[in-house]
């Protein structure tokens, strides 16, 4: 049985448990990713190629795992509330206290995603700027002034 088939075979209660556990795992993973992105930035500032390579590898592994959980989350929501279901509909299945907690966790997760995107863009901008400067150093400036 493939992964989608395994999710479809889950009871609604087990699907909800898996959904909640996945959100919890992603909250932790995004906190770890933020640390990795900050480490990557520091390595870029120090021009430390070894640390940059290690950071890139760790970030890639973390993002791959998070992508897998995202795909599983989509399948779990579909299992709980149908093909066109969304997180809000899945959360609505919970009792008040549990729903409020998971909605707060989900809001925290959304904020963590935005922060990681911001850090990733910052890192990419720095690395691109460093690459441009290195190209100038290695190959000289393009002709700055056009002949008169």
pLDDT digits (tens, 9 = 90+) for 105-141: 999 999 999 999 999 999 999 999 998 888 878 877 6
Task: Place 146 in a pLDDT band, splitting at 50, 70 and 90.
Answer: low
Compute and round to an integer the Cα radius of gyration of the chain. 22
pLDDT digits (tens, 9 = 90+) for 34-72: 999 999 999 999 999 999 999 999 999 999 999 999 999
Cα(20)–Cα(56) distance, integer angstroms: 29
pLDDT confidence of residue 148: 58
Instruction: Please answer whether residues 31 and 112 qualify as being in contact, where contact means their C-beta atoms are separated by less than 8 angstroms.
Output: yes
Beta-carbon count within 10 A of 27 CB: 15
- Give the predicted TM-score (pTM) of the model: 0.85
């Amino acid at each position: 049985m493939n992964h989608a088939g395994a999710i479809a075979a889950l009871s609604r209660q087990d699907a909800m448990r898996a959904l909640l556990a996945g959100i919890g795992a992603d909250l932790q993973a995004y906190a770890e990713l933020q640390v990795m992105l900050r480490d990557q930035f520091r390595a870029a500032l120090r021009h430390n190629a070894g640390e940059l390579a290690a950071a890139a590898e760790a970030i890639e592994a973390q993002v791959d795992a998070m992508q897998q959980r995202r795909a599983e989350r989509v399948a779990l929501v579909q299992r709980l509330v149908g093909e066109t279901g969304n997180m809000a509909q899945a959360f609505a299945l919970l009792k008040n206290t549990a729903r409020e907690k998971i909605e707060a966790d989900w809001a925290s997760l959304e904020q963590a995603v935005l922060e990681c995107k911001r850090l990733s863009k910052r890192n990419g901008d720095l690395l691109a700027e460093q690459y441009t400067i290195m190209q100038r150093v290695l190959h000289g400036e393009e002709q700055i002034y056009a002949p008169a």
